[in-house]
Every structure is written in structure tokens, then in C-alpha cells.
Chain A
Amino acid sequence: GENVEQHPSTLSVQEGDSAVIKCTYSDSASNYFPWYKQELGKRPQLIIDIRSNVGEKKDQRIAVTLNKTAKHFSLHITETQPEDSAVYFCAASIEAAGNKLTFGGGTRVLVKP
């Protein structure tokens, strides 16, 4: 089955700096890659996603890039703010196989004021 690895497990950045989280996946048939943000004690919330026919997608301060050849994708957060502090999860799935998400282990991001 699919295996998703996520790095780093923790990330501390100064407010205003950029944060980058990287994920690799094992199944070349995966074609959907969402990113979730989870605040302490809350549900995961979808913040951005990318499909395999696209190499990059942006939404304000957040961007995701996908390299299908290397089987990795990354989340980029620019101009970080204290409210960006949370745990971020990447995931991968094969839409044709019921879109069962396989999650990475998570990255705890701390933005220091």
C-alpha cells in the first residue's frame, strides 16, 4: 500500500520567515495530495490540495509544489504569522481507488513572535 513520509517532524520559525514542509510518497498511481492544518484539540482542516496534472498551486501565503517524477510534494508558507502555529499533515490518495487518504506523520510548526 501507499506510504507517506513527512519531514521535518518539528519546525520553529521566526514570524515573517518562510516555512517549508516536505513529503514523499511511494505509490506512483497516487494522484491527489491534500494538506491539512490541525490546531490543538481541533479537527484537521483542509488548507490546500493539488492534483497530479498540476505542478504548483498557490493560495495567498500558501503554496504547494508537486514533483511526480521524484514522488514528492511540498508545502510552502510565506510571511509566517503566529496563527500559522499548528500541526500540518500531508496526505496522498488514488482517486479511482475510493480516495482513501494515507497521511504523513505530521509537522509541528511553531511561529515565534
Chain B
Amino acid sequence: NAGVTQTPKFQVLKTGQSMTLQCAQDMNHNSMYWYRQDPGMGLRLIYYSASEGTTDKGEVPNGYNVSRLNKREFSLRLESAAPSQTSVYFCATQKEPYEQYFGPGTRLTVT
């Protein structure tokens, strides 16, 4: 029972490159979320998915796309990375009705 897993753990990109961050959960939760955490700051919601096949924007969606492939997996894609997207990215799932549990994070640097 791995809970919430994220890959990769670390990534360095050059400006303009693209990549996909992967998140998977084995807790059979319906809702999944993507947050970013900048140094010394709280987390900000990028996108969320209330159920398989549905996604919606959060507070800071610009520059990102998401895909809820199935109930287990929720991916975040950066089409053309920018230095402003340097951050730690956390995926989370929600145990109904309220509690959110976070994955270990992906540390992304864009040069």
C-alpha cells in the first residue's frame, strides 16, 4: 500500500522544454489535486479532479495542463517550461469528505 506516489523526484529542465509529472494513488480516492510550493510560501492549487474524466482549474493554472487518465492517475504537464515554474510540486488525494493526503513531491528546476 504505497499511498500517493510521484515521479520523478527531481528534474532539471531548460527553458522551453516540456515534461509530465506523474501522480498515482492506491487509496481508491475520487478527488486528486496538484499544488505548487515556492520557497518560504504556502501551497497553491494548480488543478484538481473531482473524479475520473473531470478536471478544473485552481488558483494558478496558467502554463499547465492536466490529465486524469483513470481513477488512480493524475498527471501534470508543462508544455513550455519557464523559470517561474521552478518549484516543488505536490500531488494530493482526498479521503471523503475532507482530508487531503500529499505525495512526496517533485522538485523541479527550470534554467
Contacts and interface: CB of A to CB of B under 8 A. Distances in A.
A49 B95 CA distance: 13
Interface stretch (B18-26, B42-50, B63-71): B42-50
Contacts of A103: 42-44
Contact of A89 (B42, B97, B98, B104): B42
B94 A99 contact: yes
Contacts, number: 59
Nearest to B58: A100
A99 B43 contact: no
B44, B97, B100, B105 — which one has the most chain A CB atoms within 10 A of its CB?
B100
Contacts of B98: 32, 34, 49, 51, 93, 95, 99
- Interface of B (DSSP majority class): strand
A105 B42 contact: yes
A43 B100 contact: no
B59 A1 contact: yes
A43 B99 contact: no
Interface residues of A, number: 25
A32 B48 CA distance: 17
Nearest to B56: A98
Contacts of A95: 97-98
Contacts of B99: 34, 46, 49
A74 to B, nearest CB: 17
Interface of B: 31, 33, 40-45, 48, 50, 56, 58-59, 90, 94, 97-105
Given A95-B97, A103-B43, 8 more contacts: A4-B42, A6-B42, A43-B90, A43-B102, A43-B103, A49-B98, A91-B42, A98-B48
Interface of A: 1, 4, 6, 32, 34, 42-46, 49, 51, 89, 91, 93, 95, 98-106
- Going nearest first, the 6 A-B pairs with the smallest beta carbon separation are A103-B42, A43-B102, A103-B43, A105-B42, A32-B98, A44-B102
